[in-house]
Amino acid sequence: MRRTPSAAVGAILSIVLAACSSAATPSSAPGSSPSEAFGGSASPVASSLPSPSHAASSAPTSASASASASATVSASASASASASASATAGACDKEQLTLATPGTLTIGTDNPAYPPYFLENDGDSHTAPWELGDPTNGTGFESAVAYAIADRLGFSEDEVTWTVVPFANAFAPGPKSFDLDLNQVSFKPERAQTADLSEGYYFGAQSLVVMKDGPLASATSVAALKDATFGAQVGTTSYDAIVSVIAPSTESKVYDTNDAAIEALKQGTIDGVVVDLPTADFITNVQLEGSTILGQFAAGTPEYFSAVLSKGSPLTPCVNAALAELTADGTLDRLASKWLPFQDSVPTFQP
């Protein structure tokens, strides 16, 4: 679902990086994956999972949505370039950065750390206190992106530390215990009022998970969903999609966690759970037997994940410059293709 900016934007970004990232020395050759930079081969667990059985017809992804996504990414990258270009030379030098712990880049995410964003170590071992996935190992999409950002900022993997940050706490008002947080946080204007949200590192869609033998198993359009009952995690863009895209005639359910919503689907309390597409893949392949991704919703304004930083953080333009470089050289596209290989195979709901 990611779209790469134009070559012209890439040229602008090279100027930005000369100002903001000149001191960062990558630990791997340009274009190599963060897993390779770790000094070992990664086991792409997400790639080896069986493909989900999709109940909807194979309707193609909307061309207009793709064009909209491309335009939005280009505009976003251009905005990042303009904002970052104003940073003074040397402001993003590693030694000049204001950090939660001097000399260490502290990255937050929630626990459990869910695949395919974070994967477990070989042999099912975990670094305490992490459950399900282990963000410290560089495998899984968001773990790989985090270490790629760190690399462009000049930090080696042993200069990165992870801390547990519950989802809603990341963008809540007040001081932060982290330098940046990666936890599938979609950009929302209201979140940007209390925290800095970076430029996007993943552009995707919301999707619907149902039971294969449930009442919605044959639905292929949004219109066919109107009389069903849906659930989603509180405060998420998934719940927003239920309200604004499906607009069901019955009241939707809100849950504290995705796990609670999944349990409600299993018990038949709701007919479907709305989650982002990579999460849906994990649910259907690992968490809930007998479930399927019915389809994804066509994008209006493309949704994207942002890194979260403290409001007004001097690190924000540096992270944006790093993301701009990772976008321009194709690294983010390659990481999405490696860790989220299923994203273009899910059918899109008709109106």
Among 179, 145, 126, which residue's Cα sits nearest to residue 35?
Answer: 145
Both 74 and 168 in one domain: the answer is: yes
pLDDT value for 125: 62
Instruction: Count CB neighbours of 50 within 10 A.
Output: 7
Both 124 and 229 in one domain: the answer is: no
pLDDT value for 166: 95
User: Bridge partners of 275?
Assistant: 207
Both 140 and 233 in one domain: the answer is: no
Both 165 and 69 in one domain: the answer is: yes
Round to whole Å and give the CA distance between 334 and 336: 5
**In this structure, what CATH number is given to the domain that contains residue 269?**
3.40.190.10
Both 283 and 320 in one domain: the answer is: no
Both 76 and 213 in one domain: the answer is: no
Within a domain: 347: no
Round to whole Å and give the CA distance between 183 and 206: 16
Q: What is the total count of domains within the chain? A: 2
pLDDT value for 48: 29
Both 23 and 68 in one domain: the answer is: yes
Instruction: Count CB neighbours of 264 within 10 A.
Output: 18
Both 31 and 133 in one domain: the answer is: yes
Within a domain: 1: no
Both 13 and 79 in one domain: the answer is: yes
pLDDT value for 121: 77
Within a domain: 345: no
Structural domain boundaries, residue 247? 206-296
Helices 63-85 and 316-328 pack at an angle, to 10 degrees, of 130
Both 283 and 257 in one domain: the answer is: yes
Within a domain: 176: yes
Both 261 and 147 in one domain: the answer is: no
Within a domain: 57: no
pLDDT value for 153: 98
pLDDT value for 123: 63
Both 214 and 241 in one domain: the answer is: yes
pLDDT value for 301: 66
One pLDDT digit (tens) per residue for the chain, 351 residues: 333 333 333 433 343 334 343 333 333 333 333 333 333 333 333 332 222 233 333 333 333 333 333 333 433 444 444 444 444 458 899 999 999 999 999 999 999 999 999 998 776 666 889 998 999 999 999 999 999 999 999 999 999 999 999 999 999 999 999 999 999 999 999 999 999 999 999 998 999 999 999 999 999 999 999 999 999 999 999 999 999 999 999 999 999 999 999 999 999 999 999 999 999 999 999 999 999 999 999 876 678 999 999 999 999 999 999 999 999 999 999 999 999 988 778 999 999
Within a domain: 234: yes
Within a domain: 41: yes
pLDDT value for 44: 30
Strands 230-233, 253-255: pairing is parallel
Classify the C-alpha dihedral 68-69-74-77 as positive or negative.
positive
pLDDT (tens digit, 9 = 90+) per residue, 69-123?
A: 333 343 344 444 444 444 445 889 999 999 999 999 999 999 999 999 999 877 6
Within a domain: 108: yes
pLDDT (tens digit, 9 = 90+) per residue, 284-331?
A: 999 999 999 999 998 766 789 999 999 999 999 999 999 999 999 999
